[in-house]
Amino acid sequence: MKGFIKHPVRVAGRLIWLCAELIIAAVGFLCAAFYRSPNHARTRWLQICCRRLLPVVGIRCGVAGKLPASGLLVSNHLSYVDILVFGAICPSVFVAKREVKSWPVFGWLAILAGTLFVDRNRCSAVIQTNHEIAEVLNANQVVVIFPEGTSSDGSTVLPFKSSLLEPAVNLDQPVTTACLHYVLLDGDVAEEVCYWKDMTFVPHLINLLSKNGIVASILVEQGERRPVDRKALAMTLHSSVSAMHRLTIQESSRASYVGAGQSSFTPVHG
């Protein structure tokens, strides 16, 4: 709670702002429920919510590369705020671990947005999730997955698990890779933005709300891969994201990301 002690007014103001945005989101969801295409309405609703929530958390976002209109989008995974970032830049359906359901704020958003929850420890659950992913892909929507299976401190890209790549292989769908990188203007990204190890959600979120500003930069690389084996695909995707990760680290060391959208990064506005 050091962030709250240091910036109590900022944190209190953002918590009130967050509550207001959640009320607006709930009203927006009820309106979206009347659309003829509920799946597409949900992804659009989530995009609007995420774009409104980014400034609440103090995040500015920039994208380099062409975002997909359909297919699978795979990325490295650093924090629960990854959902806000990708949700803001691209109407998407997310695949998340089942524990996310119980998280305050983000769990509620995930459920209403139609997130596909998976229990990686149960083969039958993974098979069911793959069926659900296939349905979304067949509807020409973007499905975002984090093949590392967990979040990290961002120092490296963890090995990719291949189980949830099966639908893209079977349906001959395009796969787009992305690499997400954060810069924290007044703190340590690994300890205050990344959500990993044995961190607890509520204290982490409150501390995050105390920060002056966060810059999220996303490199995107589209591919028309047509693999015949999901494990080979996982290795190819991991190599692609790892190469982008090395590039983001180099660029970050030159401080080119500060200012969100400098150089080849296009800013994303709420």
C-alpha span between 264 and 221 (Å, rounded): 13
Residues whose CB is less than 8 angstroms from the CB of residue 163 and which lie 6 or more positions away in sequence, other chains included: 120, 126, 130, 230
* Three-point CA angle 242, 73, 222, nearest 5°: 70
Q: What is the pLDDT of residues 53-91, one digit of tens each?
A: 999 999 999 999 999 999 999 999 999 999 999 999 999
Is residue 265 a contact partner of residue 217, using CB atoms and an 8 Å limit? Answer: yes
Closest CA relative to residue 142, chosen from 84, 80, 67, 77? 67
| Element (DSSP H or E) covering residue 81 | helix 81-89
User: Could you give the CA distance from residue 111 to residue 243 in angstroms, rounded to a whole number?
Assistant: 33
Pairing relation of β-strands 214-223 and 175-184? Answer: antiparallel
pLDDT tens digits for range 154-212: 999 999 999 999 999 999 899 999 999 999 989 999 999 999 999 999 999 999 999 99
* Global model pTM greater than 0.85: yes
